Chains A and B, each alone.
Chain A
Amino acid sequence: MTAAESVSASTDPATGDGKYVYCIIRNDRSREFGEIGIGSGARVYTVNHKDLAAVVSDTPIVIYDPTRENVLAHEFVNETVMREFTLIPMSFGTIFRSENDVQSLLNSTYQAFTDVLEKMKDKIEFGLKILWDRDKVVASLERDNDEIRRLKDEITRNAASSTYFARMQLGRLVEAAMEEASNRYVNDVHEQLKDVSVASRSNKVIGDRMILNAAFLVERKDERSFDEKVKAISLQYEDLLTFKYTGPWPPYNFVNIKLKLEKAT
């Protein structure tokens, strides 16, 4: 039996629907965002408290798995809201039992939400992942690095007699040169994007081909300049590196409010 089933099974349906919370915005009247919510297009609307609003949809009390479908639904709502509002994203799967509980959230966290919304005003996030093609980078190192080229030539010329040691040495040289190259690329990208972004954050790389997994916080007015800069950099490196450029996103990587929540039973 899955956790989701166990939760819904132990819940009395008569206690009513829960509220799935997508994000917090600043808006002093209620708003509708259409039938785009998680769980086959639930109606998305706001729960208001003073000039803050939580963007929610009705949901049964269940645990949502972070499947692609669910995550996309969550994200689509935030994208829609983001077209008009600065928002603080809630983490995926956050459900409150009632409108009252959502209002308590807004009430008790009012100041923190207000401060962060002010700080994030008119700012958006872009994701940039850079992957390299190992073979191509090695080839370019063999071309440009004298020591590597010399050693490689020597090994090729004396294939029969070249020692294990020489090969080991070559391997080590290449490894070190690759790390150095990776740092050089990453630093260069950061350097070139510094003027068109407000802040950046590097996340852990995924898989063995990735050398950068970063998020950049950008002023809305600089979106185009940032865009053009990324395109220019990817052209500059097009023979060696693959750029995965995404956004605009809500400022996921630049908002860090720890809420004291407890399980609502």
Chain B
Amino acid sequence: MGLLTNILLAPFLSPVWGTRWTLEQVDRVVRDELTDDTPVKEDLMALQMQLEMGEIDDDEYVRREAEIMKRLREVREWREKFGMSTSGGPVRIAESGEPE
């Protein structure tokens, strides 16, 4: 279907937040791992592919999709804690609103 690939990897919007703060005491590697949703999105796309290829049925898809959504939410929460950009939720044009 290609749909998830398109939407999840669309390089279109990347919100830049006004405030940034870091927790120095948290190891950088741990932080990167907690806040990287790429592997979760890849899992979602792989799941989509499996459904398309008839390797799993709809029930299985729904069940595993729910797990993946949970992981995505966890990553999002970590990103919020670290003051990093997240997709979803309300946004507005930043004060210096020139596109890059």
Contacts and interface: CB of A to CB of B under 8 A. Distances in A.
A129 B73 contact: no
B77 A92 contact: no
A104 interface: yes
A206 B7 CA distance: 15
Interface residues of B, number: 50
A67 B94 contact: no
B42 interface: yes
A263 B3 contact: no
Nearest to B80: A3
A18 B100 contact: no
B46 A246 contact: no
B10 A91 contact: yes
A96 interface: yes
27 contacts: A3-B80, A18-B90, A66-B8, A67-B65, A91-B12, A91-B87, A92-B8, A97-B92, A108-B98, A127-B6, A129-B2, A207-B46, A213-B5, A215-B6, A244-B52, A246-B3, A253-B9, A256-B12, A257-B99, A258-B13, A258-B100, A259-B13, A259-B93, A260-B98, A260-B100, A263-B17, A264-B90
Interface of B: 1-18, 42, 44-46, 48-50, 52-53, 61, 65, 69, 72-73, 76-77, 80, 86-100
